[in-house]
A and B are shown apart, each in its own frame.
Chain A
């Protein structure tokens, strides 16, 4: 019996070890392409050991390219421009690249192997993305299922971002059998406040990260975030603005409002905030403050079904209907939408009916 177990263990481990050794030897001789230089945006050179894919090398250098599938070539998110040295376009990349992207040398970073010197172009805002170690400084209840979190930056101590962008929060393993995951949350803080970063999170029942934030995260805990990412931002026009967002969708809008206040932006702006019940409204004082600080800003909370004893004298109904009542012709306006895909699609439909062109509608879908 003992002998059998011993034989079994020895056989399996020797086969495993043999194969591992074989692979290591092959990797040493076959996949060793020597040191390779990666030139980034003509500004910075990094030297790496050739043989692996570009995406993992950039991550190792703390340059974070968005990727959802973990480098298996199925999400098509890790696009970047490779100017020189990538070799021909691979069949695994083709389905994800449009004609104009192919012509401008866009590639999938997870499929491009580094075998020689490369020259790549990374959009500056991605370049700015990096990992930040923070301390959870404040957790505030906004409603029964929405909290606001403030993280104090520890290393590095400052962060720069464009109002409207989001960050990714690393959820550590907090219960048995769990795994580390990253989840994206929009930044809600005042961008002039560089030592702190705030976000607004709604509890998703069963959600890995939101459960962690609501039940395990305590003030004083270390938090790791990376970012900033995203191209949701205020345009540089003078067009009057319609913001539509409910729930935790307020985060990027609040950040943009802070920014408008800081830069004394006097564009006309109206923020329609949709909620089902009166007790789902939050940060009303903050919004009042914006109304008095900004040149021409109005906050319009819209409650779908106020309770009998909730004593509500504001707008009632769907948020899209409130917009329709206020705006007869939306063609001169710009819209910024943030929230669930359902809400955004409904709002886009109404805005289009009110004469707003597609290119004037900007949105950030929380999926």
Chain B
């Protein structure tokens, strides 16, 4: 088996998941933590890394479970339940391990894990990977790319919101209002990337 073309496809899918098919700004998945935890760049960075990590690892795990357990048994329709169970269990497990053995990593990454356990971006990526029939390597690239796209979007949002702190925003738009408008503008800006890549 020649892995060359697969790796290059994985790379293309990854880049496309970051820009043209950004899971947050194109599919609007994972909005809740995106709006809730984007007050400061530092916090957003931590959360972003946690999302990259969880997305990549759960895409791998779910791919294995789907193709080696569900497909042979004709139980594909159970993927919704199983994916979410696996994600939740995995996140809890990682949090426990970090908490116990690596205070530094726990401080930087672990504290964010409970916030994203049931983040729909995580489940969404796993489901997309099945719908689009990715191979394992491509699925890993896709998971990583989606996480990276989410990471970039929340950092950008946090940067903008930090700048907005001193601005005079009309009262009715303060807080979630202006944040949603910014998210919309960012989504429009990201639309500019479509057409750059036509990978699926």
Show the binding face of A for B, using Cβ within 8 Å: 4, 7-8, 11-12, 15-16, 19-20, 22-23, 26-27, 30-31, 72-74, 87-88, 90-92, 94-95, 111, 113, 115
Contacts and interface: CB of A to CB of B under 8 A. Distances in A.
B115 A26 contact: no
A4 B77 CA distance: 13
A338 to B, nearest CB: 21
Given A12-B78, A30-B97, 10 more contacts: A8-B75, A22-B93, A27-B96, A30-B99, A31-B99, A72-B115, A88-B107, A91-B43, A91-B46, A91-B108
Nearest to B46: A91
Contact of A94 (B42, B99, B114): B42
Contacts of A20: 89
Interface string B17-54: 00000000000000000001101101100100000000
B182 to A, nearest CB: 17
Contacts of A22: 89, 93
B132 interface: no
Contacts of B82: 12, 15
Interface in B59-76: 65, 69, 73-75
A22 B85 CA distance: 13
A74 B32 CA distance: 10
Given A15-B82, A16-B85, A91 B107 contact: yes
Contact of B43 (A16, A87, A92): A92
Contacts of A111: 111
B163 interface: no
A11 B43 contact: no
B111 A91 contact: yes
B93 A7 contact: no
Nearest to A18: B89
B43 A23 contact: no
B81 interface: yes
14 contacts: A8-B73, A11-B78, A15-B86, A16-B85, A19-B85, A19-B86, A26-B93, A27-B96, A73-B115, A74-B37, A88-B107, A91-B107, A92-B112, A95-B40
Interface string B99-128: 110010001100110110000000000000
A12 B78 CA distance: 8
B92 interface: yes
Contacts of A4: 74
Contacts of A72: 114-115
A94 B43 contact: yes
B46 to A, nearest CB: 5
Given A91-B107, A94-B40, A23 B100 contact: no
A361 to B, nearest CB: 19
B39 A95 contact: yes
Contacts of B89: 19-20, 22-23
